[in-house]
């Protein structure tokens, strides 16, 4: 059996979230996008988040946009649930939608309190171009593409956050102001959901046509690019130019 070298994993990965099975969709998707993952891992937003030096303005921009994002992400998961051919996956994705909206709302809510962001400020802050692009892409894919392609578009939202979460957790500064965020995405509860998402996507890919498999790889890459753009747009305090 072909051994996949360690380099195929993120540098900080000690307990791989995916077993990196040869031939699995997730293995190829991870390897094909490794350079992009490394760019995300070392981008200023994540370097400064790990160091605890990320400005309050940038984190506030991020957390407000992320609260908008999670509503769209939850909606896309609900569409995946509706498209799922097997009842176990209806449960998996509708629970995922619930977690995205309810559980993460509480994480964001506590940051909202800490940073003095009111519900009114949240509701009146427009969705940024980067956030809008990502949510629009997920929803367009969820509504119009086959089930397995929808899963491939949703996978980076889970997997990238888990890998970034534990990478940052391993190197985070003491008394990091963003520790609650880091702990959420480095935590076992989130990682269990990520492992289940990888397994379900791999199972769907194994039954996909060659055409849909190619579309899955496209969607996985596009969503990974949009993850980069989401963080980058928050870092740049992005607003609409007109």
Ligand X SMILES: Cc1ncc(CO)c(N)n1
* Residue list 158-197, contact with ligand X (CB under 6 A): 161
Closer of 208 and 228 to ligand X (Cβ): 228
Q: Which stretch binds ligand X (CB under 6 A): 29-37, 64-72, 114-122, 137-145?
A: 64-72
Closer of 198 and 208 to ligand X (Cβ): 198
Closest separation between CB of residue 230 and ligand X, Å?
Answer: 4
Closest separation between CB of residue 227 and ligand X, Å?
Answer: 6
Select the residue interacting with ligand X from 25, 59, 230, 235 (CB under 6 A): 230
* Residue 69 lies near ligand X (rule: CB under 6 A): yes
Torsion of CA 192, 193, 199, 201, to 10 degrees: -160
Angle between helices 104-114 and 179-186 (to 10 degrees): 170
Closer of 197 and 205 to ligand X (Cβ): 197
* Residue 63 lies near ligand X (rule: CB under 6 A): no
Closest separation between CB of residue 154 and ligand X, Å?
Answer: 9
Reduce the secondary structure of the chain to three states and give it as a string: CCCCCHHHCCCCCCCCCCCCCCCCHHHHHHHHCHHHHHHHHCCHHHHHHHHCCCCHHHHHHHHHHHHHHHHHHHHHHHHHHHHCCCHHHHHHHHHHHHHHHHHHHHHHHHHHHHCCCCHHHHHHCCCCHHHHHHHHHHHHHHHHCCHHHHHHHHHHHHHHHHHHHHHHHHHCCCCCCCHHHHHHHHCHHHHHHHHHHHHHHHHHHHCCCHHHHHHHHHHHHHHHHHHHHHHHHHHCCCCCCC
Closest separation between CB of residue 38 and ligand X, Å?
Answer: 18
* Residue 122 lies near ligand X (rule: CB under 6 A): no
Select the residue interacting with ligand X from 155, 157, 168, 208 (CB under 6 A): 157
Closest separation between CB of residue 73 and ligand X, Å?
Answer: 6
Closest separation between CB of residue 161 and ligand X, Å?
Answer: 4
Q: How far apart are CA 35 and CA 98, in angstroms?
A: 32
Q: How far apart are CA 172 and CA 176, in angstroms?
A: 7
Closer of 109 and 212 to ligand X (Cβ): 109
* Residue 66 lies near ligand X (rule: CB under 6 A): yes
Q: Are 170 and 238 in contact (CB under 8 A)?
A: no
Number of residues counted as binding ligand X (CB under 6 A): 7
Q: Which stretch binds ligand X (CB under 6 A): 3-11, 66-74, 90-98, 194-202?
A: 66-74
Q: Which stretch binds ligand X (CB under 6 A): 45-53, 63-71, 143-151, 166-174?
A: 63-71
Binding site for ligand X (CB under 6 A): 66, 69-70, 157, 161, 227, 230
């Amino acid at each position: 059996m072909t051994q996949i070298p360690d380099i195929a994993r993120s540098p900080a990965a000690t307990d791989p979230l995916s077993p990196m099975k040869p031939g699995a969709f997730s293995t190829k998707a991870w390897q094909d996008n490794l350079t992009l993952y490394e760019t995300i891992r070392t981008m200023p937003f994540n370097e400064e988040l790990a160091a605890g030096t990320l400005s309050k303005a940038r984190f506030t921009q991020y957390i407000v946009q992320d609260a908008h994002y999670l509503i769209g992400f939850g909606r896309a998961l609900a569409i995946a649930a509706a498209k799922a051919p097997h009842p176990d996956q209806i449960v998996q994705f509708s629970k995922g939608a619930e977690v995205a909206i309810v559980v993460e709302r509480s994480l964001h809510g506590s940051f909202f309190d800490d940073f003095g962001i009111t519900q009114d400020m949240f509701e009146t802050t427009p969705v940024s171009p980067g956030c809008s692009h990502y949510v629009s892409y997920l929803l367009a894919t969820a509504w119009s593409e086959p089930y397995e392609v929808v899963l491939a578009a949703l996978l980076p939202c889970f997997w990238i956050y888990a890998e970034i979460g534990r990478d940052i957790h391993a190197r985070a500064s003491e008394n990091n102001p963003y520790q609650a965020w880091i702990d959420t995405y480095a935590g076992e509860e989130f990682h269990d959901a990520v492992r289940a998402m990888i397994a379900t996507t791999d199972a769907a890919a194994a039954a996909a046509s060659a055409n849909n498999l190619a579309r899955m790889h496209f969607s996985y890459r596009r969503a990974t690019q949009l993850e980069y753009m989401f963080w980058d747009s928050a870092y740049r305090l992005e607003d609409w130019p007109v």
